[in-house]
Amino acid sequence: MSRTTSSNADEFPELLGRYGWTPERARWWDAHLVGFDPAADPRPGRVSRVDRGECDVITASGPQRVVSDSQRAQGDIAPATGDWVAVIDDPELGPAVGAVLPRTTAITRRDPGPVVVEQVLVANVDVVAVVHALDQSFSAARLERFLVLAHDSGAEPLVVLTKADLVDAAAAAAIARELTDATVVVTAAPTGEGVDEVRRFVAGRTVVFMGLSGSGKSTLTNALMGDEVQVTADVREGDARGRHTTTSRELFLLPGGGVLIDTPGVRAIGVWDAWPAVHRVYADVSAHASQCRFSDCTHGQEPGCAVTAAVAAGTLDAQRVARYRQLMIELTELDDQIDESVRRQKRGRPPSRRRPGRSG
Ligand SMILES: Nc1nc2c(ncn2[C@@H]2O[C@H](COP(=O)(O)OP(=O)(O)OP(=O)(O)O)[C@@H](O)[C@H]2O)c(=O)[nH]1
Ligand SMILES: [Mg+2]
């Protein structure tokens, strides 16, 4: 198939449409393409996998292995799985990412490295499916943290409770009751329970699976794909922990329409600038917090705290409030660290590794 630099939505190759190319993206492309040298043959594509320095991109003419940054200026966006990019022919590097198109949504976390920076895990997803195995130990803090991440991304959250065949129905119902604000689907791989429900929920959209290792993300991926596209592995006996089988974030085209991104299992995720999402996930606590006497109340010992009053009155659950406070502390610390990091960079010094105080 010949490549084209025109992207009129009507004439756009069918393959890209199946990967989620929209008229809005085509319009952006038409408006910004002028910046490229036509000799570089810029063509749109979706990043299906990112490795060190290179990535796989689905273009109209099929998958291509490309260099992930073509002399990218510092501060430009690094491509993430799910990104739409302009692939160009670089005279020195060969096929390379020339630009990353604006993202509609992005799952971001605090980079686990020593420098306080944001890391985009996946981009342009419509649904974030938080996958929890019913035979693994349940942590409300962990699940709520994943939901904060999902809300913060701008995508729609979905909770998938897997391995229903290993527990009694009451266990699934008890967890579902805790998640009053989320859509919950219960699945069981051996019987296929719930798989069609997930398929209907994600049809025609891009979904990413996130959750602990061993929670069954790749097993569900295979069920939805109708094929063994991903390797799966037994969990450890005793604590049902996974073995970190999946090692990269990878994008698949679903047979019935839509795109799926399977990811490696993660235990802890550091939030990044997710204030509105925390208020959303803890809307009950937040509603009381807005009644506190002091607007910067930390819901500790302050007088006139409506949150501690609600806990004392039995209206709010003390443990849920503790989880909310923990996230608020992390976000406040992060705000301080971002400032410190930026200040130090401006002075030409590496960012601090210690936790800075408020006065910086
Ligand atoms: N009984 C039962 N086992 C399941 C179900 N879903 C997954 N498993 C098993 O759980 C184990 C882990 O599943 P995976 O799909 O590899 O888990 P994962 O979330 O992809 O794990 P990582 O790639 O390590 O993050 C495998 O042995 C699966 O066969 C289920 O619904 N019921
Ligand atoms: Mg996996």
pLDDT in tens, 179-205: 767 899 999 999 999 999 999 999 999
What confidence score (pLDDT) does residue 345 get?
52
In the chain, CATH 2.40.50.140 covers 9-100
CB atoms within 10 A of CB 345: 12
Nearest C-alpha to atom 13 of ligand 1 is from which residue?
Answer: 216
Contact 104, 134 (CB under 8 A): no
3-state helix, strand, coil in the chain (%, to 5): 35, 20, 45
**Backbone dihedral angles phi then psi of residue 125, each to the nearest 5 degrees:** -100, 150
| Ligand showing the shortest atom-to-Cα distance for residue 212 | 1
Please state which CATH number belongs to domain 106-262. 3.40.50.300
- The string over 320-337, giving b where at least 16 C-beta atoms fall within 10 Å of a residue's C-beta and e elsewhere, is bbebbbebbebbeebebb
CATH 1.10.40.50 domain position(s) in the chain: 282-346
Q: Assign 70 a pLDDT band (cuts: 50, 70, 90).
A: low
Q: What is the pLDDT of residue 56?
A: 96
For ligand 1, atom 12, name the residue with the nearest CA.
Answer: 214
Closest CA to 259 of 267, 271, 246, 249: 249
- Could you give the residue range(s) of every CATH 3.40.50.300 domain in the chain? 106-262
Query: Where does 282-346 sit in CATH, by number?
Result: 1.10.40.50
Confidence (pLDDT) at 207: 98
State the average pLDDT for the chain.
Answer: 85
Residues with CB under 6 A from ligand 1: 162-163, 165-166, 187-190, 213-219, 232-235, 242-246, 264-265
CATH code for the domain defined by 9-100: 2.40.50.140
**Model pTM score:** 0.88
**pLDDT over 70 (residue 346):** no
